Amino acid sequence: MKYRMLAIATAAPLFLSAQSALAACADLPSHAELQAALEESVGDNGGFDLNMWGTIVDRDGVVCAVAMTGDDRGDQWPGSRVICAQKANTANAFSLPGLALSTANLFAAVQPGGSLFGLQESNPVNPAVAYSADDAGDYGSASDPMVGKIVGGVNVFGGGLALYDERGQLLGGLGVSGDTSCEPLARSSPGARARREPRSRRAGGVGLLASSLQPAQRYTSAP
């Protein structure tokens, strides 16, 4: 009995910590909503029409949801699971309430001689969070082992966008991966299929409304 009580006492803080970490996810799309948006975007977006991974993080970089469009984790490029998490983390980490920077926006600046050269080497992925062979069967599900944890990582090609609410508050980021570098950019905005990312003198890139995963016009047009 004493050992049972000790086990319960030890597990309780871990449970409360996980619940606290996911509190900010309440204002972001759920796993089911993310998966539905990814599935809706499947079609002719100019890529190879491959299955995709998607990840959502909150403003602190905590993973809220990981989803996939295939029936099994092997139906998408396995490496893209972590790449989409990197993209979500990057879009969140380098955007502000009045400055939406997508991962695609960063591509030119990180090239040799660019003002942000070396950025992709910062904020490395936490491998203990990203890779968990014991839980591989849960990859892409509501119980993906990345959920509730900070995975980190920086990615600098298309597919990562910041998520805002209707008031312009930055809530987190969305990352999509699994096809050509332009395909995830189109799919990360399901309602903007097959269109180029808009530019903005004020925002620099496109942001999405967390409530609908549609472009937030406030961040896609010049003032």
CATH code at position 215: 3.30.450.150
Please count the structural domains in the chain.
1
Q: Nearest Cα to 101, choosing from 90, 117, 116?
A: 90
Residue 114 has pLDDT above 80, yes or no: yes
- Residue 137 — very low, low, confident or very high, per pLDDT cuts 50/70/90? very high
Average pLDDT value for residue range 39-43: 78
Residue 129 belongs to a domain? yes
- Structural domain boundaries, residue 37: 25-219
Q: Which residues contact 25 (CB under 8 A, 6 or more apart)?
A: 56, 58, 62, 64, 65
Residue 92 has pLDDT above 60, yes or no: yes
Residue 189 has pLDDT above 50, yes or no: yes
Average pLDDT, the chain: 80
- The token pair at 51 is 């299955």
Residue 49 belongs to a domain? yes
Residue 105 belongs to a domain? yes
- Residue 190 — very low, low, confident or very high, per pLDDT cuts 50/70/90? very low
What are the distances in angstroms from CA 172 to CA 28, 76, 92, 199, 223?
8, 24, 5, 20, 23
Please give the Cα distance from 223 to 138 (Å, whole number).
Answer: 44
Residue 191 belongs to a domain? yes
Residue type, 214: Q
Please give the Cα distance from 78 to 176 (Å, whole number).
Answer: 13
Q: Supply the pTM of this predicted model.
A: 0.79
Average pLDDT value for residue range 159-170: 92
Please give the Cα distance from 179 to 53 (Å, whole number).
Answer: 10
DSSP class of residue 54? E
Q: In this predicted structure, what is the pLDDT of residue 11?
A: 44
- Greater confidence (94 vs 186) lies with 94
Residue 145 belongs to a domain? yes
- Residue 3 — very low, low, confident or very high, per pLDDT cuts 50/70/90? very low
Among 40-54, 95-109, 176-190, 191-205, the range scoring the smallest mean pLDDT is 191-205
What are the distances in angstroms from CA 182 to CA 27, 194, 196?
28, 9, 9
Residue 13 belongs to a domain? no
Average pLDDT value for residue range 63-70: 96
Please give the Cα distance from 213 to 161 (Å, whole number).
Answer: 10
- Residue 182 — very low, low, confident or very high, per pLDDT cuts 50/70/90? low
Please give the Cα distance from 32 to 12 (Å, whole number).
Answer: 27
Please give the Cα distance from 90 to 108 (Å, whole number).
Answer: 15
- Residue 123 — very low, low, confident or very high, per pLDDT cuts 50/70/90? very high
Residue 7 belongs to a domain? no
Residue 10 belongs to a domain? no
Q: How many residues does the chain have?
A: 223
